Amino acid sequence: MSWFPEKKSGQSWIHRVCQRILKNGPIPKHVAFIMDGNRRFAVKNHMERAEGHFRGFDKLSETLEWCLDIGITEVTVYAFSIENFKRSKDEVDCLMELARQKFTRLMQEKELIQKHQVCVRVLGNLSLLPLDIQEVIADCVQFSKDNERAVLNVCFSYTSREEICAAMREIAEGVQLGLIKDSDVSEDLMEKCLYTSQSPHPDLLIRTSGEVRLSDFLLWQTSFSCLSFVEVLWPEFSIWHLYGAILHYQRNYPAIQRAIDSAMSDRERRQRESDCSCVLSDHKSSDQSNYSMTEQILQYAKHREARLEQFLQHVNSKRLCYFKELVSRHKTTGV
């Protein structure tokens, strides 16, 4: 099965009616999935473990179609955790082979990516992956990067704590190189250095298989997400489970929005206080300025923003270089 359907699969009238009812309420723009339960599904259905993972991929493809159909424009999936490297060699090889096949197929079906205008991003510590997989991933990411209708983030070789450590290392290096000041370190900067920096936070997170933990997935990004834990194993997930989770999101929407608004205004207040204390400490060590305190704070904020923009360009150009190098390697090795 490919990632995106060639033709739209038909929907029954009952689906269309339910979809119309749901569309009267807020539809989450970004949904994250912990696709759990593939192996239990395999055992339950007397299959090889590998078959469970392949069925898991088919379910992902179906789910993407349901999401696009109802107006969910961004999906993030946990496809392979760094912890999964601890599984048996056979299983890790099987999951790597699945990724190799599916990303290669995606590149063979470029016209489908273009037809659906989907931007595919792969998030995680890709350097832990076999080189040929890094290369085909880089190809997909580079090829689809300007597509704007929908975004698919595949977290592969990912854990949230590794992501946060990687972001902290970028920031520490920025301070060390003198590109930013230690007082520039903020929640906002941290977010912009995460692998997910180009995405809004998920509105809804769905985990299948009855497990009720986040397992090191998007820990930073899901502080204000609506969480939905469903009992079925991932390959058994149906459109009704998706609709149920959206309904759960709609019921909790007002409380979530209030929490987000309050956190955002707190964050802005903290930034203003930080700018103010920086100006005050500069004041102590330099001559009196001709400008009023308010003007000086505004000026300081402008300089801080310019400094951060330059630093983030530096971080992004490193990532871009990494992908470009892999793409040109792929072209020369022709794998």
Residue in 15, 29, 40, 248 binding ligand FPP, rule: CB under 6 A: 40
Contact 76, 218 (CB under 8 A): yes
Treating both helix axes as pointing N-terminal to C-terminal, what angle do 239-285 and 49-70 enclose, rounded to 10 degrees? 80
Beta partners for residue 80, in sequence order: 156
Q: Which of 4, 31, 39, 64 binds ligand FPP (CB under 6 A)?
A: 39
Q: Is 66 in the site for ligand FPP (CB under 6 A)?
A: no
- CB of residue 179 to ligand FPP, shortest distance in Å: 35
Long-range contacts of residues 82-88, Cβ cutoff 8 Å, at least 24 apart: 82/124, 82/125, 82/128, 82/157, 82/158, 82/159, 82/162, 83/159, 83/215, 83/216, 85/128, 85/157
Four-point Cα dihedral 66, 68, 72, 74, nearest 10: 120
Could you give the CA distance from residue 303 to residue 7 in angstroms, rounded to a whole number? 51
Q: Where does this chain bind Mg ion (CB under 5 A)? A: 36
Residue 38 contact, options Mg ion, ligand FPP, none, Cβ 5-8 Å cut-off depending on partner type: ligand FPP
| 208 belongs to the binding site for ligand FPP (CB under 6 A) | no
Using CB under 6 A as the binding rule, whether residue 157 contacts ligand FPP is answered as no
Closest CA to 27 of 72, 59, 61, 57: 72
Which among 52-60, 239-247, 264-272, 316-324 is the span making contact with ligand FPP, rule CB under 6 A?
A: 52-60
Residue nearer to ligand FPP on the CB measure, 238 or 299: 238
Q: Measured at CB, which residue is nearest to ligand FPP?
A: 56
Q: Say whether residue 102 binds ligand FPP (CB under 6 A).
A: yes
* ∠ CA 144-146-147, rounded to 5°: 70
Determine, following the binding rule CB under 6 A, whether residue 245 of this chain makes contact with ligand FPP: no
Q: Which is nearer to ligand FPP, 100 or 307 (CB)?
A: 100
Of the candidate spans 11-19, 94-102, 163-171, 240-248, the one that interacts with ligand FPP by CB under 6 A turns out to be 94-102
How far is the first Cα of the chain from the last one, in angstroms, to the nearest whole number?
21
Contact 135, 126 (CB under 8 A): no
* DSSP symbol at 78: E
Q: Least distance from C-beta 86 to Mg ion, angstroms?
A: 12
The one-letter amino acid at 314: H
- Nearer to Mg ion among residue 49 and residue 105 (C-beta): 49
- Listed ranges 11-19, 33-41, 109-117, 307-315: which one lies at the site for ligand FPP (CB under 6 A): 33-41
With CB under 5 to 8 Å by kind, the binding choice for 32 among ligand FPP, Mg ion, none is: none
Is 50 an interacting residue with respect to ligand FPP (CB under 6 A)? no
On whether the CB atoms of residues 252 and 230 are closer than 8 A, the answer is: no
Chain residues binding ligand FPP by CB under 6 A are: 35-40, 53, 56-57, 60, 79, 84, 98-99, 102, 154, 209
